[in-house]
């Protein structure tokens, strides 16, 4: 059986950024949901590495604040400079955050597999 060619790390990161750019305002997704959509189920940590490696010049184009862990925790908040910046960005879009956790995850969660085709 032929194997699918593996993407290199840079291509994977670019795919992560493309997915994150699709997350609409007022919604959040998770590292794991992105990994699963990209065919790398179980690679949530690699998605986190990609978000951490996001070049400064792209930070205005990729809404990284909309990516949280599977429980809605703002685990990447320390990458936003100011301690509350990630929360402020989410709240400006109508997402309720309490104690560093997105509230009403069932309502605001956006799953790439439900909204995108596999053409990214």
How far apart CA 50 and CA 40 sit, in angstroms, is 13
Q: Are 27 and 90 spatial neighbours (Cβ–Cβ below 8 Å)?
A: no
CATH number belonging to domain 9-115:
1.10.10.10
Say how far residue 54 (Cα) sits from the centre of its chain: 11
Q: Are 107 and 24 spatial neighbours (Cβ–Cβ below 8 Å)?
A: no
In this prediction, residue 8 carries a pLDDT of 85
In this prediction, residue 76 carries a pLDDT of 92
How far apart CA 72 and CA 67 sit, in angstroms, is 9
- Reference 26, options 59, 62, 65; nearest CA is 65
Q: Is the pTM of this model over 0.75?
A: yes
Domain-wise residue ranges, the chain: 9-115
In this prediction, residue 5 carries a pLDDT of 46
Per-residue pLDDT of the chain (120 residues; tens, 9 = 90+): 333 345 688 899 999 999 999 999 999 999 999 999 999 999 999 999 999 998 877 878 999 999 999 999 999 999 888 999 999 999 999 999 999 999 999 999 999 999 887 656
């Amino acid at each position: 059986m032929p194997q699918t060619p593996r993407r290199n790390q840079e291509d994977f990161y670019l795919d992560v950024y493309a997915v994150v750019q699709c997350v609409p305002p007022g919604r959040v997704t998770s590292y794991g949901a992105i990994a699963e959509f990209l065919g790398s189920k179980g690679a949530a940590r690699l998605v986190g590495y990609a978000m951490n490696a996001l070049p400064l010049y792209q930070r205005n184009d990729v809404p990284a604040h909309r990516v949280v862990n599977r429980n809605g925790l703002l685990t990447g908040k320390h990458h936003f400079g100011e301690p509350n910046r990630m929360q402020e960005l989410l709240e400006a879009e109508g997402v309720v955050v309490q104690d560093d956790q997105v509230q009403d995850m069932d309502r605001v969660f956006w799953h790439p597999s439900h909204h995108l085709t596999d053409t990214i």
